[in-house]
Structure 1
Amino acid sequence: MSKLSGNERWKTKMVLTDHVDQYEQREQQQERKPDGGGGALLSNAERTMVRDLILLPYIDEIVSKSIKEIERSGNVLARMYLMTGWYIQNRISRDTWELQKELKQRNIRFWADEQDDFISYYKIFFRGYEEQFGLTRDVMRTEISLRLTRYSSELGAALKELVKK
């Protein structure tokens, strides 16, 4: 049901049926795109994808440092920790590849612009527009922690499934 149907004002106005059809087609196309792709502004889903793609290299660096520390340690469970680290790195690589592919399809590019003490700014170029995007250190830390927790939970769930079988 479009906004035109049920609206009494449209009955008294002279509107060409072509215009009504164009309006309804545009409305239907917007309904088919739940993420808002194709608009003049970035949707929240697209901003989230950019944010995640910015954070994934930081997460990979953190995991790499942890793997190096584990390799040097004499821990009895070092092999298990290393396998966990490798699994998380594999997931980071896969997520990075998927995000890059999706952003390329949507014609969205970004790069680091400037960095203050607490905020990193990025320029995002999309659909002929430009936007500045900033991430604070606190937000980055929180998101990195949440993402690492999610990866660990995925691995834990996969191991539980293996144990059940």
Structure 2
Amino acid sequence: MTKLEGNGRWGGKMLLTEHQEKYDQRDRTVLGKPSADELRLIRDSILLPHLMTMLQRSIDEVSRSQITMHNVMARFMRAVLDRANLESFNTKRELKKRNIKILSDRTQDDIVYNRYVCRGYEDTFGMTREVMRAEIGKNLAKAVDSILNPSQE
């Protein structure tokens, strides 16, 4: 036992009131279902890798083809792929900031299920292939529009 342990001065924390409140809330995790915005982030993080794969395959296909303007088309698709890649990076960063993890996926009866953990709350997120195709089409159209009309962002 040292001299400082027995005198009682070092037993409590010397914090301001607002710091004490933050310290008390530090260990509390907010359990609960993700918000609609967080579900959108989860959906986007699932769909964007599929979109990037489709774009890469299309780039490879156009590059090998004998189309007259294949170089121009491939460059444009690369620009769209770069936009999708940037959006995917930002989505993953936002998920990490909100403490949301996407764990695994499985397919059953044409529905793709993804497990996720949102601040301790675990659930599955399912989409049919048709819905995935439609959402990927929307994402692709949004990326193309952002390249063609950069002033409207």
Structure 1 length-normalised TM:
0.70
Letter in 2 for 1:118: D
Mapped to 1, the partners of 2:46 and 2:147 lie a distance apart of 23
**In the alignment, which residue of structure 2 is the partner of 1:56?**
48
Mapped to 2, the partners of 1:101 and 1:80 lie a distance apart of 32
Q: Give 1:39 deviation, angstroms.
A: 6.0
Mapped to 2, the partners of 1:152 and 1:53 lie a distance apart of 19
> Of 124, 128, 147, which residue of structure 1 is paired with 2:120?
128
Q: How does 1:1-165 map to 2 (within 5 A)?
A: 40-158=32-150
Letter in 1 for 2:98: R
Higher relative contact order (CA 8 A, sep 6+): 2
Q: How many residues align?
A: 122
Q: Give 1:113 deviation, angstroms.
A: 3.7
Change in CA separation of 1:113 and 1:86 when aligned onto 2, cut-off 3 Å: closer
* Unpaired stretches in structure 1, ≥5 consecutive residues: 1-37
**Structure 2 residue matching 1:42: 3-state secondary structure:** coil
Mapped to 2, the partners of 1:57 and 1:50 lie a distance apart of 12
Structure 2 length-normalised TM:
0.75
Identity %: 31
More helix by share: 1
Q: Give 1:145 deviation, angstroms.
A: 0.6
User: How big is each residue's C-alpha offset from its partner over 1:142-163, in whole Å with a ceiling of 9 and x where there is no partner?
Assistant: 00011111111112113xx6xx
**Structure 2 residue matching 1:41: 3-state secondary structure:** coil
* Unpaired stretches in structure 2, ≥5 consecutive residues: 1-29
Contact 1:112 1:120 in 2 (8 A): no
Root-mean-square deviation (CA, aligned residues, Å) is: 1.4
Mapped to 1, the partners of 2:51 and 2:105 lie a distance apart of 20
Q: Give 1:40 deviation, angstroms.
A: 1.3
**Structure 1 residue matching 2:149: 3-state secondary structure:** helix
Q: Give 1:114 deviation, angstroms.
A: 2.3
